[in-house]
């Protein structure tokens, strides 16, 4: 159903991220949308919003905002554990809802939000997977949909640029604990890259993982390696580290017909003149060679400036969601896809903390729920 008129948004949680969404909406950076109300259980956050925009209605209770705020849509930007209950409440109040990532902490909870959304087909449920708006990943998606790489041989995903110091962890709050956020580097930061991975190449069949806490006094992981296996036999080696200076951000997908390499700001696509299958079938030498056409793409100065101006890639998802409500354009990041990267994360924890055994998909939700209970119980906070 297309929404007539300006979409009136409410935001639940106006801390670090929610206040950026508030600013983007209040300053008119999202065409066809306006900020009507915000809710936060911490009144100092509400006072801050009101000092900038006195006309915005403020609430301490989201149920009250949903019933009285005259809203069309809600953005949920509270800590992860509360996402699903607020998403469900918004849907039950007849409101479109855009949830911050991760969809939840456990696949069992994330499934509850999906089930509720299916009961309200007239309402949109989206997730803030803003890295899907990065044009390098979007180009890679197009290439893979066109089967430009052919059969995939291997994937490397290295994400070691989410550096977090002990000072960051000592600031406290809900972050970096099993009780407060249900994990560390994976659930908070790498959920973005794991979503991109599955968005581009689909879900693996299984994985084996190692997760450790190194060089920091925290109870959750900041050092992870996982080997994911895919139906065609290809593997992805995923490395994530939060204590490495000058870290890397690299995604490489090598196929029979070509290869994609994406760094933080630059992408290279090689289109082979001959596929490896053809080279192997025809060469009379012991080694293989082909020429290749090279295409490069940068993150783009326009994108970087847009982000500086609008405080982040996240504004692109707000625009996409609003366009979906107004014009029926397909959602770039539908809420029900939030469970996929979360499944990979739950599987990594299951493997890493139960003897590095291979976990196959779909993850057993109750098995992960049990593991999380025991991880929380061990946590001495
Ligand atoms: N998309 C991104 O790139 C991105 C970046 C940063 C954070 N996030 C996500 O945004 C969420 C919030 O992160 P943050 O860094 O803004 O945290 P934060 O702690 O700075 O803000 C959370 C706010 O929610 C409020 N809150 C908590 N429970 C509430 C409730 N029941 N009702 C109303 N308000 C409530 C808190 O008072 C706080 O002001 C997290 O899930 C995080 O993963 C996403």
Looking at residue 265, the DSSP 8-state letter turns out to be: S
Position in ligand 1 atom list of the atom nearest CA 317: 1
Determine the Cα–Cα distance for residues 250 and 236; give it in Å rounded to an integer: 12
Model's pTM, two decimal places?
0.97
Give the model's pLDDT for residue 213: 97
Say which CATH topology domain 7-130+307-335 has: Rossmann fold (3.40.50)
Strand partners, 227: 208, 237
CA-closest residue to ligand 1 atom 38: 15
- Where are the domain boundaries for CATH 3.40.50.720 in the chain? 7-130+307-335
Q: Phi and psi for 157 in degrees, rounded to 5?
A: -125, 115
CA-closest residue to ligand 1 atom 21: 15
Q: Is the CB of 61 under 6 A from ligand 1?
A: no
Q: Which CATH number fits domain 132-300+339-378: 3.40.718.10, 3.30.360.10, 1.10.10.10, 3.40.50.2000?
A: 3.30.360.10
Q: Is the CB of 15 under 6 A from ligand 1?
A: yes
Q: Is the CB of 82 under 6 A from ligand 1?
A: yes
- Where are the domain boundaries for CATH 3.30.360.10 in the chain? 132-300+339-378
Q: Is the CB of 132 under 6 A from ligand 1?
A: no
Chain centroid to CA 246: 22
DSSP H helical ranges for 146-263: 166-170, 178-181, 185, 191-201
Give the model's pLDDT for residue 363: 97
Give the model's pLDDT for residue 300: 81
pLDDT per position as a tens digit, 199-227: 999 999 999 999 999 999 999 999 999 99
User: Which residues does the chain have with pLDDT short of 70?
Assistant: 1, 380-381
Q: Strand, coil or helix: what is 289?
A: coil
Position in ligand 1 atom list of the atom nearest CA 128: 1
Please name which of 248, 236, 213, 209 lies closest in space to residue 225, comparing C-alpha atoms: 209
Position in ligand 1 atom list of the atom nearest CA 39: 33
CA-closest residue to ligand 1 atom 4: 17
CA-closest residue to ligand 1 atom 33: 40
């Amino acid at each position: 159903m297309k929404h007539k008129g300006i979409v009136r948004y409410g935001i639940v949680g106006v801390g670090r991220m929610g206040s950026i969404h508030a600013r983007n909406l209040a300053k008119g950076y999202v065409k066809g949308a306006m900020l009507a109300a915000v809710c936060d259980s911490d009144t100092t956050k509400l006072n801050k919003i009101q000092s900038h925009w006195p006309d915005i209605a403020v609430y301490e209770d989201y149920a009250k905002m949903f019933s009285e705020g005259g809203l069309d849509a809600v953005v949920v930007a509270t800590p992860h554990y509360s996402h699903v209950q607020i998403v469900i409440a918004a849907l039950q109040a007849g409101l479109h809802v855009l949830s911050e990532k991760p969809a939840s902490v456990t696949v069992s909870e994330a499934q509850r939000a999906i089930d509720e959304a299916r009961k309200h087909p007239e309402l949109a449920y989206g997730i803030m997977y803003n890295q899907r708006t990065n044009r390098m990943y979007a180009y890679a998606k197009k290439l893979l949909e066109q089967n430009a790489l052919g059969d995939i041989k291997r994937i490397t995903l290295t994400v070691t640029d989410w550096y977090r110091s002990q000072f960051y962890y000592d600031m406290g709050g809900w972050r970096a604990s099993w009780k407060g956020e249900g994990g560390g580097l994976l659930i908070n930061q790498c959920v973005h890259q794991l979503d991109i991975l599955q968005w581009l190449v689909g879900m693996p069949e299984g994985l084996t993982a190692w997760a450790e806490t190194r060089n920091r006094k925290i109870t959750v992981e900041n050092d992870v390696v996982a080997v994911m296996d895919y139906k065609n036999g290809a593997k992805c080696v995923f490395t994530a580290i939060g204590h490495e200076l000058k870290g890397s951000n690299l995604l490489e997908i090598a196929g029979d017909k070509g290869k994609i390499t994406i760094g933080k700001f630059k992408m290279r696509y090689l289109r082979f003149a001959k596929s490896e299958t053809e080279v192997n079938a025809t060469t009379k030498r012991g080694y293989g060679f082909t020429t290749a056409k090279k295409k490069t793409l940068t993150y783009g100065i326009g994108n970087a400036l847009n982000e500086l101006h609008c405080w982040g890639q996240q504004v692109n998802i707000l625009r996409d969601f609003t366009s979906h409500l107004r014009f029926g354009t397909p959602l770039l990041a539908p809420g029900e896809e939030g469970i996929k990267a979360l499944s990979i994360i739950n599987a990594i924890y299951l493997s890493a903390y139960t003897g590095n055994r291979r976990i196959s998909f779909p993850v057993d939700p109750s098995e992960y729920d049990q593991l999380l209970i025991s991880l929380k119980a061990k946590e001495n906070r």
